[in-house]
Structure formats: C-alpha cells, structure tokens
Structure 1
Amino acid sequence: MRLWEFREEQRKDVPITFYFMRELRLIMFLLIGGSYIFTNEAIAYWKIVFVIAAMLVYTLTHFLHFNKRTTKYHLLWTSIDFIVTIAFGIIFPTLTLYQINFGIIGITLLIFTNNRRIILIASLLFAIVWTYLWTLNYLHTGHFRFMDMLINLGFVLNSSFVGIMVGYLFKARAKIAEQYESLVHSHSELQDTHDQLRIYAKQVEDLTAASERNKIARDIHDTVGHTMTALIVQLQAARMLQQHDLKQAEDTLNRCEELARSALQEVRLSVRALRDEGGIHLTLTDKLRKLMKDFSDMTGMVTSLRVQGDLTRISTSLQPMIFRLIQESLTNAKRHGNASEAEVTLHTNDDQIDIMIVDNGYGAAEVVPGFGLINMRERLQEHSGSIQFESVEGQGFRVQITIPIQTKTWTYGGAEA
C-alpha cells in the first residue's frame, strides 16, 4: 500500500515535501517541453504540435499516477511517459535535454513499485533505448558528446536512486501506520484485559474473605465446641452431685467456670490470631498428650495415644491440622456417641501419615456428616488428604485419615565432566 492510498485522516501526516516533489515532477515535464518551442526559432510547425501534445500527455498521466482510482495502473502510465520521451529523442535527435525526463520517469517508477523483476526489465529497456538514442544523435551530429552523455546518465541514475529512497520512506511510513493501528488495537485489548483482571481480583478478594470467614467458623467450632462439650459433661455431673455431695458439686462448678473462661479465651484467640494455631511452642507429641489428658480430665473418658514413627518429620504446616482433627474426633465421640473410651493411633513414614481414631460410643447405622465432619474433610482436602468414617450401630465409631507427605530434594555440587 502506498502512502497516497491511505485514508484521508492518515494523509495529514504526509510530509509537505512529497506534495512539492509531486508538483515539481509535472513542472519539470512542462519546462523541458516548453524549452523545445521557445529556444528553437526554426522549429517546424508539426514539431510544435508534437511538443504541445506531449506536454498534454505528460499532464494527463501525471494526474492518473496520483489518483486513488487509477494509481493501480501506474505501469501503464509510466510506459506512456517512456514512449513519449523516446519520441522526443527520435524527433529531436540533435538535442539531449529531453533525457532528463528519463530520470523523472525513473523516480516515479521506483516510488510506485519495488518489484525486482519490473525494475530489471525497465533497466534493460532503458539501456537499449539509451544506446539507440545516443547512436541516433551521433549519426545526426557527426560526433560523440561523451561528457554530455555522462552528465545526463548521472542525472538519470541519481534520480533513480532518489526514487528508491523515497519508495523506502513511503513503505516505512506505511508500515509505521499499520503498526500504529495494531498498537492501538492491542492497547484496547490490553485495557479490556486489565478491566477483566480487576474484576477477577475483586472476585478473588471476595472468595478470600469467604474463606477466612469459613476458617473462623471452623476454628471456633473446633476449639470452643471441644471446650463446650466438656463443660456440658461437667454441668451434668454437678447436677447429679449436688444431691449427694455438695463439696464435689462445688468443685465441679468451679471447673465449669474455668472451662467457660477457657472457651471465652479460645474465641478471642480465634478472632485475633486465626493463623496462630500453635500457641505454646510444644512438639506435636506433647500437644497431643496434653490434649488427651485434658480431655480425659474434663469428660472422664479414658483416652489413649499410640505413636509409630518419628513425628518430627511432619511439617509445621500440617501439625495444627492434625491436632484439630484429633480434637474434633474426640469431641464428636463424647458429644454424639457418649463414648467412655477412645484410642488414637498415629503412624508416619516417608510417604504418608495415617491416623485412626476409634471409640466405643453408640455408633450409627448410617453416617451423615455434620458441620464438624465436613470441616474435617475440607481441612484434609486443602492438603490432598483423605478421610473415611465407619460406624456400626452399638459398636462405636471409627475415623481413618491419610495425609500424603510431599518429599522435597535439594542437590548441590557434582562431578565435572
């Protein structure tokens, strides 16, 4: 696509030198043609008619060259200009001023096309015609004007070189205009993507807030629910003891008060420091032992903990979850199954962690997961773990948990080849 074929708003960017060069082209044709009329007093009438006709043809082809509707036939208009210029050399064989027109035609051709085949054919035709016209000049004048030929040829070659440069300039501007339109389109798409990302960010923010709310609910359920279960058991015991042993009933009520305070503290900790699940910096084994003992003291349930393998290999990111899972299982055993015994077995190796919690509670013919069991499953899914619930009515409840351990390997150094 040539520069003058652009839309009207794009043509505003065309350098004014292009319009000056375009009009200068026509002026040069007319001046050279007019010089043959006004500088030759003995010119024949029919030659004057030819020169005028040639000037009209140059004018017509000039406007056809630069008209958007007819510019695609530029080779035809260039061929006509070439033929008319050859006719000048035949009709005026002793004069060589017309040869400047070959340079003007060369500029026009090289602006409109960069097809190498067309340029090669045009160069061969020019060489043939140039040789013929200078031979004709030699036959009519009787001597060969070598310097005149070199000067005219230099002008033609220089004009052709200018045509090549102008053609490259127009091609570069056309490419820039095309890239600019592409850039504008890309910018529009980028803006749309940015807006979409902003929407996604808002959605992620909403999902994150929902996730935090769920974590708060789950944390409160795990901690406060565990304490409240023990509190209910103690209140039931106090109710029975107040009829037989007031002193023991008073001790039990004092313990209930402590449990209530503990529950309040758990709520505060859950709201203020949701991510701080560890609290006291104890090993996982110590935490589980304390959990089992405290729960047994508060509920009267006989609890046992069996550990197989090295628990220190369990990452700190998994330890709070394991603690909560066992705590929830014990709470469910007492609250829903009224179990008197519960056994926790924890086994770990290089590949996975296996946890089994078994109680002797009421059991159920069909396990329908409630809020607590659903939270346990959700916790495990976050770490690619799995959980199974098994129960037979009258034969207690079993929880089987499997957590894969992600193995990471770092290698340093090595033998050089």
Structure 2
Amino acid sequence: MDYFLFLMRTVWFAFNGYAIFSSTIGSEKWILLLWASCSYILPHLFYRPRLIKFQYYLMAEVLLTGSLFIYLSSQYDISVTYSFLLVPILTLAYACQVKPLIWLGPFAVLASTWAGSLFTNQDFFKLFIDTTIFYGIGFCLGRMTIVNKANKELIASIEEKNKDLEYYAKKIEELTIKEERNRVSQDLHDTVGHIFTSVITSLDALPFLYQADQKEAEKSIKEISDLARNGLNDVRKTIHHMSSTDHQTLVESVKELIADFMKHTSTDIQLNVEGEATKVSERVKLAIIRCIQEGLTNAKRHGQATFIKVNISFEQEELIVLIEDNGNGCNELNLGFGLRSMKDRISALAGTVNFDSKLNNGMRITCNIPMAKEV
C-alpha cells in the first residue's frame, strides 16, 4: 500500500505539474515547478515505503503543499487548483490511524475545505464532500493495512508456535518411546530374573533330591516345568503390556509372589502389612510388585540370603515398602540394572528409594511412595 500511495503521488505531481506548466508563463513558471517539485520530493524523505517519520512529513506537507496551494489559488485562475490538495489529504488520512494523530483528520478536512472555498470561490459543501471522500478512502486504506499487518503478524506467530509445538511433540514422542522401552526392559529384567533365579535354584537342588527321593524329584521337575511355562506367559504379558494381577489387590499379589518364590527357592520370607490396606492404582501396584520381585531376586542371587523380611506400611500420606535380608551384603554398593530400574520406577511416582548394605549384614531397601499423588 505504501508503494501504491507513492505511485499515486507521482501521478498527482505529474498531473498538477503539467497544469502549472501550461497555465503559467515566464520565469515564474520554473519557480513554481521547483516549488511543486519540492512539495513532491521533501515529504517523501519522511514518508516512503519502509520509512515513516510522520511529524516531519506533516510539517513538510503543510508548509510546502499548503503554501503552494494558497499561492496558486490567490494568484491564478486554475480549475484544478483544489485537486492539488486531495492526494495529500488521502495520504494524511492513511497515515493518521492512531491517537492522537487520528484527530488531525477532521481538522484537516475542515481546514482544507475552508481554504478551498476561500481562495477558489467554489461551493463549500461541494468541496467538503470531495475532501471527505478522499479522506475516507485514505482512512479505509490505512485501516486495511493495519488489519492486514496484524493478520500477517498473527499468521507468523501461529506458524512459529506450530513449529514449537511440532518440535515439542517430536520431543515428547521420543521421550515416550524411550520411557516405554525402559519400562518394557525393566519389566522383562524383573520378570525373567525372578523366574530364572527360581528355576536355577530348583535345578541346583534337583540332583540331591533325586538321590534322596526319586518320586519327589520327578514332582519337583514338573513344578520347575510349570514354573518355566508360567514365566513364559508372564514375559508374554509383559511384552503385550498386560498385567497378570489386575484382578488382585496389592497385598494379594505380593502374597502370591512371595509364596511362589518361597516354593522354588526354599527361602524363608516373612510378610508384614501395617495399617489399612488402601486400594492403590495399577501403576503403583505394578511398580511395588516389580520392586519386591527385584528385591527378592537380588537378595537370593547376589546375597545368598536365607531369610527375607518384606514390610508394607499403609500410612495416611505415603506407602512404605521395606525389603530386608540376611545375605552377604557389601560395604560399597554399586547399583546394577535391576536396582537402577527399581529407583527409576519409584522416582516416576514422585517417591524415593534408599539402599543400605553392610558386609555380612545383609541389605535393606526402603521405598517411600506418596499416596496423594496416585490414589
């Protein structure tokens, strides 16, 4: 639009320059042409595409164009004299779109109409209509430009936000995939480790049992086979994001887990439940089961424990799970994949895990999970 107004002003200058050239004589003709050229060029020093200094443009327009109009109207009988003001008024209306500049519009319309009727002896009402029309065109063009600019800025802002959303969506997708991979790997580690610990322990005892009692050994072999099948089903359920204990409460699932582990590893496990067994979400239940499963497996496989104590305490604000064994223990504990997975599971629930181990004094695992965040 700025380029359009620039072109219109150029046509306006050519038209009025020709009128001045054909209606004047002598050296004054060149003076007036120079004056008209200044009224065309100087305002555009302050109002041109991509550069607007409105206060200086207004001063140049009033001083040069206004004074030239008054001089021509008072000295010459030029039929197009008043049209000399119409394009500057249109440009003025286009530029005056914000307060307090917007109040210059009505003043400019009245002032130019009064000057036109005073110096050209034309009807005031007719001049007022012409001036108002050009001012209205310029004002509407200005509003259209502002709205168009605002729309472009809004579109640019939306495109930028869309790019940000696409970036964050991609990051979230990557994090979700990574978290799901970690979850599946943790489930597989806990499930497979638990199963194989039970199977290996049973197989190690099988030769001695076979020598002592052949029928009991055959029974044990069948139990080991059933354990492997159940473990395979558990792995499949884990892969397919299923839970084998959805129908059970947390305490029932833990009891079943402990009973199965005691049966196949000959480990003495004591379970204590304190407080009212509050129903917890599937996410919390699965995390606790996996943690207890890893705690039992770690105690038997690495600590060679013969006695394990599991304590579940339902308190008002948190759920506390304690796993304590009489295994070998160690002074410097290095977290392997299983213990790190346990810590990640509890941290995902805004909880904490503490590991305490001493050489020849077993290991103590304490999990604290806020109840209010998940129940």
Q: 1:57 to 1:160 in 2, by over 3 A?
A: farther
Correspondence 1:233 to 2:201:
yes
Deviates more, 1:200-209 or 1:349-358: 200-209
Equivalent position of 1:375 in the other structure:
341
Determine which of 212, 225, 241 is the counterpart of 1:244: 212
- AA aligned to 2:230 is S
Equivalent position of 1:113 in the other structure:
92
Aligned-pair CA distance for 1:99: 8.5
CA distance in 1 between partners of 2:169 and 2:108 (Å): 63
SS at match of 1:367: coil
Aligned-pair CA distance for 1:358: 1.3
Compute the RMSD of aligned alpha carbons.
3.9
Correspondence 1:396 to 2:362:
yes
Q: 1:59 to 1:119 in 2, by over 3 A?
A: farther
Determine which of 62, 69, 80 is the counterpart of 1:81: 69
Counterpart contact for 2:354–2:367, Cα < 8 Å? yes
CA distance in 2 between partners of 1:123 and 1:298 (Å): 104
CA distance in 1 between partners of 2:133 and 2:167 (Å): 55
CA distance in 2 between partners of 1:190 and 1:124 (Å): 44
Q: 1:57 to 1:119 in 2, by over 3 A?
A: farther
Q: For residues 322-364 of structure 1, give each alpha carbon's deviation from its aligned partner in whole angstroms, at most 9, with x where no partner exists.
A: 1111121111111111211111111112211111111111222
- AA aligned to 2:127 is V
Equivalent position of 1:364 in the other structure:
330
Counterpart contact for 1:104–1:159, Cα < 8 Å? no
Equivalent position of 1:158 in the other structure:
129
Determine which of 248, 252, 260 is the counterpart of 1:286: 252
Percent of aligned pairs with the same amino acid: 24
- AA aligned to 1:243 is Q
SS at match of 1:242: helix
Q: For 1:43-192, what aligned pairs fall within 5 Å after superposition?
A: 64-67=38-41, 68=44, 73-74=60-61, 75-88=63-76, 98=77, 103-113=82-92, 152-172=123-143, 174-175=145-146, 179=149, 183=152, 187=155, 190-191=158-159
Determine which of 387, 402, 407 is the counterpart of 2:353: 387
Where does structure 2 lack aligned partners over 5 or more consecutive residues? 48-56, 94-100
SS at match of 1:325: helix
What TM-score does the superposition give when structure 1 sets the normalisation length? 0.70
SS at match of 1:361: coil
CA distance in 1 between partners of 2:91 and 2:71 (Å): 18
Q: 1:174 to 1:129 in 2, by over 3 A?
A: closer
CA distance in 1 between partners of 2:373 and 2:347 (Å): 18
Counterpart contact for 1:234–1:299, Cα < 8 Å? yes
Equivalent position of 1:255 in the other structure:
223
Correspondence 1:315 to 2:281:
yes
CA distance in 1 between partners of 2:86 and 2:180 (Å): 74
Structure exhibiting the larger radius of gyration computed from Cα positions: 1
- AA aligned to 1:379 is R
Equivalent position of 2:96 in the other structure:
none
Aligned-pair CA distance for 1:119: 8.2
- AA aligned to 2:302 is H
Q: 1:205 to 1:76 in 2, by over 3 A?
A: same
Aligned-pair CA distance for 1:109: 4.8
SS at match of 2:320: strand
Equivalent position of 1:95 in the other structure:
none
CA distance in 2 between partners of 1:125 and 1:186 (Å): 38
Q: 1:299 to 1:165 in 2, by over 3 A?
A: same
Aligned-pair CA distance for 1:130: 7.0
Where does structure 1 lack aligned partners over 5 or more consecutive residues? 34-49, 89-97, 135-148, 410-417
Counterpart contact for 1:2–1:112, Cα < 8 Å? no
CA distance in 1 between partners of 2:184 and 2:191 (Å): 11
Counterpart contact for 2:327–2:363, Cα < 8 Å? yes
Counterpart contact for 1:222–1:327, Cα < 8 Å? yes
SS at match of 1:331: helix
Equivalent position of 2:237 in the other structure:
269
